[in-house]
A and B are shown apart, each in its own frame.
Chain A
Amino acid sequence: MISLHLKKLPATREVSLLILAYLYLPILVLIVYSFNANRSATVWTEFSFAWYGRILANPSIQTAALNSIIVATIATVCATAIALLAALATYRPFYGQKMVEGGINLPLILPEIVTAVATLLLFMALGIKLGLMTVIVAHIGFCIPFAYLPIRARLNDLDKSLLEAANDLYANPWQVFRRVTLPLLWPAVLSGAVLAFVVSLDDFIMTFFVAGPGSTTLPVYIFSAIKAGVTPEINAISTLMLVISIVLVVLAFWLGQRGKQQ
Chain B
Amino acid sequence: MKVKSMRLAISGLALSCFTAFSAHAAEPKELFFYNWTDYYPVDLLAKFEKETGIKVTMDGYDSNETLLAKLQAGGAAYDVIVPSQSIMQTLIKQDLLLEIDTPTLSNFQYVKGPFRDPAFDPGRKFSAPYLWGTTGFSYDSARVPGGKLDDSWKEFFEPRKELQGQLAALDTSSSVINAASHYLNVDECTENPQEAKRILELLQKQKPFLKMYSSDNTVDRMASGEVIMMQNWNGSTARATLQKNTIKYVYPREGVAMFQDNFAVPKSAPHPDNAKVFIDWMMKPENAAAVSNAIAYANGIQSDGLLDPKWKVMDAINMPEAYASRLRPEKECSNKARELQDRIWSKLKG
Contact = CB atoms under 8 A, between A and B. Distances in A.
Interface of A: 38-43, 57-60, 117, 120-121, 123-124, 127-130, 208-209, 211-216, 220-221, 223-230
Contacts of A42: 217, 220, 224, 226
A58 B58 CA distance: 11
A213 B34 contact: yes
A41 B59 contact: no
A228 B77 contact: no
B75 A224 contact: no
B26 interface: no
A121 B217 contact: no
Contacts of B243: 38-40, 43
B236 interface: yes
Contacts of A43: 220, 223-224, 243
A225 B36 CA distance: 9
Given A213-B57, A224-B38, A227-B62, A129 B220 contact: no
Contacts of B224: 40, 42-43
Interface stretch (B65-73, B115-123, B126-134): B65-73
Contacts of B220: 40-43, 229-230
A85 to B, nearest CB: 32
Given A225-B38, A229-B219, A230-B217, A216 B60 contact: yes
Interface centre among A123, A127, A216, by most chain B C-beta atoms within 10 angstroms, is: A216
Interface in B181-235: 215-221, 223-224, 226
A124 B75 CA distance: 6
Contacts of A58: 42
Given A216-B60, A225-B37, 10 more contacts: A40-B224, A43-B223, A120-B73, A124-B74, A129-B75, A213-B77, A227-B218, A228-B218, A228-B236, A230-B217
Contacts of B236: 227-228
A211 B59 contact: yes
Given A57-B42, A228-B219, A223 B62 contact: yes
A127 B77 CA distance: 12
B316 to A, nearest CB: 14
Nearest to A211: B59
B32 interface: yes
Contact of A224 (B61, B223, B239): B61
Contact of A228 (B38, B59, B69): B38
Interface in B218-264: 218-221, 223-224, 226, 236, 239, 243
B42 A226 contact: no
A213 B62 contact: no
20 contacts: A40-B219, A40-B220, A40-B224, A41-B220, A43-B224, A57-B42, A60-B42, A117-B69, A123-B73, A209-B66, A213-B34, A214-B57, A221-B60, A223-B62, A224-B36, A225-B38, A227-B215, A228-B38, A228-B218, A230-B217
Interface string B11-51: 00000000000000000000010101110001100000000
B76 interface: yes
A120 B61 CA distance: 16
Given A214-B32, A221-B37, A226 B217 contact: yes
A67 to B, nearest CB: 10
Contacts of A226: 216-217
Contacts of B281: none
Contacts of B43: 57
Q: Which 4 A-B pairs give the minimum distances between C-beta atoms? A: A224-B37, A224-B62, A213-B32, A229-B220
